[in-house]
A and B are shown apart, each in its own frame.
Chain A
Amino acid sequence: MKIKAAIVRELNKPLAIEEIELAPPKANEVLVKTAYTGFCHSDLSMIRGIFKMPLPLVLGHEAAGVVEDVGPGVASVTKGDHVVATWMVACGHCPECRKGKGHICRTSFIPHSVGGLLDMTSRLTDSKGARLNHQTNVSGFAEYMVVPEAATIKIRKDLPLDQACFIGCCLPTGFGAVYNAAGVKPGDSVAIWGMGGVGLNAVRGAMLRGGNPIIGVDLEGSKEAIAREFGATHFINNSKEDPVPIIKELTGGGADYCFEAIGDPGAILQAYWSLGMGSTLITIGIPDEQPLTGLPLFYNPLHCKSVKGTLYGDIETGRDIPALADMAARGDFKLDKLITRRFKIEEINDVVEAMKKRQIIGRWVCAWI
């Protein structure tokens, strides 16, 4: 079928909006009519080549929609089901999966790296018949998606799909960093760098978990109101003030947990210096591949500090996405407040520019319906 999609053809160039061909789902694959797709900072990193993906790439990994058709053997969803497309398909049998760490399933990274679905082939071709690559099973900036069944997670129908798309990435990534990777307990002090889609969900997670204080940090003062709306008790504009002494003062010596939700070396350093003794820095944001050597690791043993990475909030998609949808439907995450603009696919390059300039407050979603 012919569909409209946004494609990265060359790094650091505007995305191409093209009419492309989507092949029907094979066995154990699902055709989904895309409803909404969130624009994530990782999408920008892929356009910039910081996050390396095989080109040409149909962009997008945070999408929700409605099942249109299913391939042979599909049992878990049927036409009309509301689904979240997930970019992680845990195989269930590799060493990571056996330990309950399906979020870093080693098998799943192989199709990611070649831009195919689970059998490594693509369902996407351009008007000249050339292969286009999938972005991590999803390729959500497209009118329709063909997604592996295991990446098509059925959710309740009363959760609006513009909110549901966030359960594909920024919600579990931020919330899970707090709940799973850190294990924040009531009363723990928390500071979070980057008040974007992921950071705001980390703020919300800390609020739901009973963290106190919850300090939001961002280079843009314009993000203070939304940070407070999501549960930040304090906000620091780190383009104007050094957050380290302020956080040490607010927390009585340093935060129990610092979260870095940008992937910025400077923010990672600030977050490390803001840790209290025996505390942990959780890095969520994906920096470029250059090693960061400025961390004062002298204090790591001396003050028992830790640095820990987390991917996808350490969730297991099949188990956790429906549960997150239940919480979202109850209003726990204020996802309606996270959506600050609905855009058409033709406007996506304006969205890219706005993100480069740090002008996006909340999350902007591409509306297909």
Chain B
Amino acid sequence: MTTAKGAVLPKASNMGWEVQELEWDEPRDDEVGVRVVACGLCHSDWHCANGEFPIEKFPMLSGHEGTGIIEKVGKDVKRVKVGDKIVMSWIPSCGHCPSCVSGHGELCDRFATGLKGSRDDGTYRIRDKEGREVGQAAFLGALSEYVVIHEDACIPVDQDLDLLKIPIVGCRIPTGWGAVVNNAKATQGCTALVVGLGGVGFNVIQGLKSVGAVVIIAADIHDKKKWAMEWGATHYIDASKQDVVNEVMKITGIGVDYAFDAIGKGEVQSQCVEACHKMGKAVWIGIAPFSQKTVALNAWVVSQFQKHISGSCYGGASPFEMVPQLIKMYRAGKIKFDELITKYYKLEQINEACADMVAGKIICGCIRMDQ
């Protein structure tokens, strides 16, 4: 048994997180104990807190974007050893289900218990002070000093990397970058729109730079123009004042080749379809509220202009494929990680970090466990 502090959501509400002492089971044969170094706080965490994400089990320990050092290993663990540095994958891709064998470990059938945050067999690894079972967000619960996770959730990384700087590669970097490279399959010289400049949106911009886009239009309701232009946007739309589709048409004349929704709102999803040129592709990355069942679309233009709509989850490829690839690019200076984190917080400041994120004051906030 290991005791550690973690950021727990007692229920879906606007009350946010409580930092509590939790008791962890020892790792099973195929599990590892990890000393967490850092964990990003992402809009999805906020959606879990406010009830838009259909979490099936409370209390739940949050955090799905973590780095750490392996502290304990079960006897059957083969892919990591004690002392290894890891990035955590929020889907422990099994390698054998129909999605995994098709090269889509990001859609692994293991996610069946993801909303409960239990093991595959439905059991839990954590108890709170009252003895209640606690779920682990996305099998991780990385907003915690320590976690026990499945071996299959571990992505080993180079030992010389600073784990404080790279946690965002556990979710928002592959999610944004991969949406461009894998889902849109955007190509050299293309034009694109990205709506929503959070951690995912900035990584859509990084992806568009990787593929050689010539027009990158960024839109947000918060004032993020300065950041957007620094990160490589060629145009900026203040979505709080301007009509996004009209502005895109003014800039491009005909619409963009690719439009990325990095928000998850029906209105933005619809705008992305409208903003595309003929044969254009709208890529929906943002996670809409579970209760949103419809999107208003101009269906006539979808058929007559042969528009495409693609969903995108975790960047459209196995995180075990993409994360090592992105780290190589980071080391080669081809993609930025460090600058994404504009503010570090202590675990106890979790609610402050969330408020800053919701107010658009930061790109990515990161909780560091060493303070």
Report which A residues bind B (CB closer than 8 A): 90-93, 95, 97-102, 150, 316, 318-319
CB-CB under 8 A for A90 and B101, given A97-B95, A318-B96: yes
- Say yes or no: A101 contacts B98, CB within 8 Å: no
- Please give me the residue from chain B that is nearest to A100 by CB atom: B103
CB-CB under 8 A for A92 and B103, given A98-B318, A98-B320: no
Query: Would you call B211 an interface residue if the criterion is a C-beta within 8 Å of the partner chain's C-beta atoms?
Result: no
- Please give me the residue from chain B that is nearest to A317 by CB atom: B101
- Say yes or no: B94 contacts A319, CB within 8 Å: no
Give the shortest distance, in Å, between B302 (CB) and chain A (any CB): 24
Query: Would you call B100 an interface residue if the criterion is a C-beta within 8 Å of the partner chain's C-beta atoms?
Result: yes
CB-CB under 8 A for A92 and B104, given A98-B318, A98-B321: no
Give the shortest distance, in Å, between B84 (CB) and chain A (any CB): 15
A-B contact pairs, 22 of them (CB 8 A): A90-B101, A92-B94, A92-B95, A92-B100, A95-B321, A97-B95, A97-B101, A98-B93, A98-B318, A98-B321, A99-B103, A99-B318, A99-B321, A100-B102, A100-B103, A102-B101, A150-B96, A316-B101, A316-B102, A318-B96, A318-B101, A319-B102
Give the shortest distance, in Å, between B116 (CB) and chain A (any CB): 22
A265 and B104 CA atoms in complex are apart in Å by 37
A58 and B159 CA atoms in complex are apart in Å by 45
**A318 / chain B contacts, CB cutoff of 8 Å:** 96, 101
A49 and B187 CA atoms in complex are apart in Å by 47
Give the shortest distance, in Å, between A75 (CB) and chain B (any CB): 12
- Please give me the residue from chain A that is nearest to B321 by CB atom: A98
One digit per residue, 1 when the CB lies within 8 angstroms of any chain A CB and 0 when it does not, for chain B 89-111 equals 00001111010111111000000
A100 and B94 CA atoms in complex are apart in Å by 13
A92 and B79 CA atoms in complex are apart in Å by 12
- Say yes or no: B101 contacts A319, CB within 8 Å: yes
A102 and B96 CA atoms in complex are apart in Å by 9
One digit per residue, 1 when the CB lies within 8 angstroms of any chain A CB and 0 when it does not, for chain B 308-333 equals 00000000011011000000000000
Give the shortest distance, in Å, between A2 (CB) and chain B (any CB): 34
- Please give me the residue from chain B that is nearest to A99 by CB atom: B103
**A101 / chain B contacts, CB cutoff of 8 Å:** 103
**B103 / chain A contacts, CB cutoff of 8 Å:** 98-101
Give the shortest distance, in Å, between A359 (CB) and chain B (any CB): 39
A100 and B106 CA atoms in complex are apart in Å by 12
**B321 / chain A contacts, CB cutoff of 8 Å:** 95, 98-99
**Which positions 290-306 of chain B face chain A at CB distance < 8 Å?**
none
**A316 / chain B contacts, CB cutoff of 8 Å:** 101-102
Give the shortest distance, in Å, between A111 (CB) and chain B (any CB): 15
**A102 / chain B contacts, CB cutoff of 8 Å:** 101
A100 and B101 CA atoms in complex are apart in Å by 5
**A90 / chain B contacts, CB cutoff of 8 Å:** 95-96, 101
A317 and B317 CA atoms in complex are apart in Å by 21
- Say yes or no: B101 contacts A93, CB within 8 Å: no
CB-CB under 8 A for A98 and B101, given A92-B94, A92-B96: no
- 8 closest A-B pairs by beta carbon, nearest first, are A92-B95, A100-B103, A316-B101, A98-B321, A100-B102, A99-B103, A98-B318, A92-B96
**A150 / chain B contacts, CB cutoff of 8 Å:** 96
- Say yes or no: B98 contacts A319, CB within 8 Å: yes
- Say yes or no: A93 contacts B79, CB within 8 Å: yes
A92 and B110 CA atoms in complex are apart in Å by 14
A150 and B95 CA atoms in complex are apart in Å by 12
**B79 / chain A contacts, CB cutoff of 8 Å:** 93
**B100 / chain A contacts, CB cutoff of 8 Å:** 92, 97
Given A91-B95, A98-B93, A319-B98; 12 other pairs, CB 8 A cutoff: A90-B95, A90-B96, A92-B94, A92-B95, A93-B95, A93-B320, A97-B95, A98-B321, A100-B101, A100-B102, A100-B104, A101-B103
- Please give me the residue from chain A that is nearest to B102 by CB atom: A100
Give the shortest distance, in Å, between A92 (CB) and chain B (any CB): 2
**Which positions 213-229 of chain B face chain A at CB distance < 8 Å?**
none
- Say yes or no: B318 contacts A92, CB within 8 Å: no
A91 and B152 CA atoms in complex are apart in Å by 13
**A91 / chain B contacts, CB cutoff of 8 Å:** 95
**B96 / chain A contacts, CB cutoff of 8 Å:** 90, 92, 150, 318
